[in-house]
Amino acid sequence: MAEDHVTLKSGFGGKAMEGATGSRPGLLEKPVPTAASPTLSSLGAVFILLKSALGAGLLSFPWAFYKAGGVTPAFLVELVSLVFLISGLVILGYAASVSGQATYQGVVGDLCGPTIGKLCEACFIVNLLMISVAFLRVIGDQLEKLCDFLLPSAPPALQPWYTEQRFTLPLLSALVILPLSAPREIGFQKYTSILGSLAACYLALVIMVQYYLGPPGLVHEPHPAARPSSWTSVFSVFPTICFGFQCHEAAVSVYCSMRHQSLSRWALVSVLSLLACCLIYSLTGVYGFLTFGTDVSADILMSYPGNDVIIIVARALFGVSIVTVYPIVLFLGRSVMQDFWRRSCCLAGGLGALAEPSGPWVRGLLTVLWVAMTLAMALFLPDLSEIIGIIGGISSFFIFIFPGLCLICAVGVEPVTPRVKCCLEVWGVVSVLVGTFIFGQSTVATALELF
């Protein structure tokens, strides 16, 4: 049966090989290739993972440093999180090679059972929808600021209709975002991911330079908070870090798209992409916090003067960065809807030519539906900061909980020594517990802010 991710599937031994040989591939073995021919290079995989993580969370890191109580505690939280973030990516690659599945939800469902698989699909679709809405909202805010800069003489109440978000954002979605989201393979996104990563690097560089230049109208905080107000304030930044570093939803699809698949190569790809991401996030967070201190905004670009040309260019390029990552999120969400479509059609008695989930008609319909739904939500969303905590909490499932469960289930069927099995199971349990704590803390904090 054809699938939208057919070119992503590497043809691991999976269930078919298990039935033929009676065993699965070992822990460090390279999967056996099949007729499918993945074309993504390791460097391309690094850029796609990097760009998947370098999204709207970049704007919130200076605010997260403030909430943590300063540079030192925030940096320590980031380093501790980085261990689990890299571990989660490596586990997902290993779990994909064990299960023979080519999507995140497929891996979880195969290893952890149908009930956990259904939970994964539900969390997956909700999280990706909210991320898409957040991305469109960020793009809309940057478009609004650009229009204000281009038409400075007109008062806000008399701005032309064509400068409003309700016109500019749908126009950009139809002319740029929708065509970029149409391709069938995620490997296509490696080209736009390079451009988006460079745009994000420019934003970090601008924040660093602006700290030293100190343009007119920019007030430095003389004595930023040097210590957290309480231990709970340190933990409160975990959802922001999860929101910023989340690229795990794309991990399985990227891994299955690589030409050369092995656990060691995938571990190197994971380390390089997240270290580069950590460097960009840390520079943005440190210099943004040192520039504004306790007055830093949840969106760092909103703290700068609106008439600074350098900041205007940064806004434009960051908008480009977000535009290039939106199609990756849409691709992943569409794969879940295609799986549901496929199951529904099979129950109804088979697939017709026009109803094939990977075909252009269904793929185009689901793409248009996703863009239209997220666009409508973005236009009426009151505040971006209200959903960052929710997204970060749900992201803990994909970064900590589901990878931990997959590791526990995978080592139960893998030919590993008892000592290795015990260590991996312990790490899986720790990952699940950490993820549960972050989700609970985020849920409580968000509920207190809303009610």
pLDDT tens, per residue, the chain with 451 residues: 334 443 333 333 333 333 333 344 444 444 433 334 667 888 888 888 888 887 777 888 888 888 887 888 888 888 888 999 999 999 999 999 888 888 898 899 999 998 998 898 888 888 888 888 888 888 887 887 787 777 766 555 566 777 777 888 899 889 988 888 887 766 566 666 777 778 888 888 999 988 888 755 565 555 444 555 556 666 777 777 877 888 888 899 889 888 888 889 999 999 999 999 999 999 999 998 888 888 888 778 878 877 778 888 888 888 888 888 888 888 888 888 887 777 776 555 555 544 566 667 788 888 899 999 999 888 876 566 556 666 767 888 889 999 999 999 998 877 778 888 899 999 999 999 998 888 887 776 666 665 5
Whole-number Å distance between alpha carbons of 226 and 229: 9
In Å, how far from its chain's centre is CA 23? 34
Q: Is residue 409 part of a domain?
A: no
Q: Is residue 290 part of a domain?
A: yes
Q: Is residue 430 part of a domain?
A: no
pTM for this prediction: 0.78
Using N-to-C axis directions, what is the helix angle for 360-380 and 309-348, rounded to 10°?
130
Q: Is residue 313 part of a domain?
A: yes
User: Where in the sequence is the domain holding 294, given as residue range(s)?
Assistant: 40-381
Query: Looking at beta carbons, which pairs linking 184-188 to residues 24 or more positions away fall under 8 Å?
Result: 184/4, 184/7, 184/358, 184/363, 185/7, 185/8, 185/257, 186/5, 186/8, 186/48, 186/250, 186/253, 186/254, 186/257, 186/328, 186/331, 187/7, 187/8, 187/38, 187/39, 187/40, 187/44, 187/257
Whole-number Å distance between alpha carbons of 200 and 277: 10
Q: Is residue 12 part of a domain?
A: no
Q: Is residue 30 part of a domain?
A: no
Domain holding 90: CATH number?
A: 1.20.1740.10
Sign of the dihedral through C-alpha 330, 335, 337, 341: positive
Task: Count structural domains, the chain.
Answer: 1
Written as six digits, the tokens of 377 are 């939500």
Query: Across the strands, what pairs with 258?
Result: 40
Q: Is residue 428 part of a domain?
A: no
Rg (CA), the chain: 22
Whole-number Å distance between alpha carbons of 158 and 376: 24
Q: Is residue 432 part of a domain?
A: no
